[in-house]
Amino acid sequence: LYTDPGSCEGRCGEPLSEEDECHCHPECERRGSCCGDYERHCGPDGFSRSSDSITDQELLEVSEQLYGLDHNKARPSDIAINPQHQAAPGETGHQEDLSPQPLYKYVNEELFSKPTYSSFIKLLDNYQRATGREEEVTADELREQDNFLREVMKTELMKKLFTFLHGKNRYDSEQEFLEDLKQMWFGLYSRGAGEQDSSGFEHVFSGEVKKGKVSGFHNWIRFYLLEKQGIVNYFSHNFNGPWDTFPDVLGLQFSWDGFYKEVGSAFIGCSPEFEFGLYTLCFLARPGRACHLSLGGYSLSIQTYPWTKSTYGNGRRFIATAYVMSP
């Protein structure tokens, strides 16, 4: 379903990129850089159609479409942030609070009554943040997962994403897409010593603590709610995106209950479905590689990685992480 960076399945004809470990464009034969299964998938008798590959141009186009469909995003009047100190590259590891004020000066919490926001927020307290501790998933928590997925799939943004992926033969039906979203994002795997202690959703949106450091935690709503409670302390930022409306992007340093995040990154002011949809798109199209997108005419890249130590279904991969790449 997703395009494995070491395979040509779903990648035949994909443009050559130096970032890729192997290639699936006919030119790769001359260069000697073809993936090992190039002939099987892309040769004359291959079964992976070039029309199913997702081109760089299509990623730019569909990301702009998704950006335009983020109807639940914050308006400029809904959020006021105070970025304060901009850390130089050598400062991000200093663990110094260089910004005495909170990052969020104001958030219009009426946003959180929107169905995708309220169902998202209910998921955030379902996790043990320490890796190595087994996650116990209750029936109520499973219902909350299903409710969130139902709500995001009602949005034009996620329906557009499904239409795009359906056209690329990734999914036959919206129900199949919904079921795979649940597995890739909420399916449990072990980051510790065998315990089912993690999932893509927990890592990316809620955050984890591993070996005394914050791991994941890339969501602005989670950050705001914990900062409001005094549990998160904003230290500085190392990147502020070029957008003058929301969503924007911030690279930031912070402490979560005494645990430090040296270089985090987050969309600011987007809806939950926008972030969820964009990360899903990049995971399916460019897992393990930089996924180059366009939002409002500005370039943006997302990095995702599949979890490689366990699978679900017929060899499908869970999401290990997904985040905005700040320069």
The answer to whether the CB of 24 falls within 8 A of the CB of 13 is: yes
25 noted as active-site residue: no
The answer to whether the CB of 304 falls within 8 A of the CB of 185 is: no
Catalytic residue, from 41, 210, 261, 292: name it.
261
Task: Find, among 292, 261, 258, 275, the residue nearest to 219 by Cα.
Answer: 275
What is the H or E stretch that residue 273 is in? helix 272-285
Beta bridge partners of 23: 34
166 noted as active-site residue: no
Tokens of 71: 């109807």
Instruction: Round to whole Å and give the CA distance between 189 and 209.
Output: 16
Instruction: Round to whole Å and give the CA distance between 146 and 303.
Output: 26
Instruction: Round to whole Å and give the CA distance between 248 and 269.
Output: 7
Catalytic residue, from 73, 218, 237, 292: name it.
218
Instruction: Round to whole Å and give the CA distance between 304 and 51.
Output: 23
The answer to whether the CB of 192 falls within 8 A of the CB of 203 is: no
Catalytic residue, from 23, 25, 41, 203: name it.
203
Instruction: Round to whole Å and give the CA distance between 79 and 112.
Output: 12
71 noted as active-site residue: no
What is the H or E stretch that residue 152 is in? helix 139-153
| Residues with a known catalytic role | 203, 218, 261
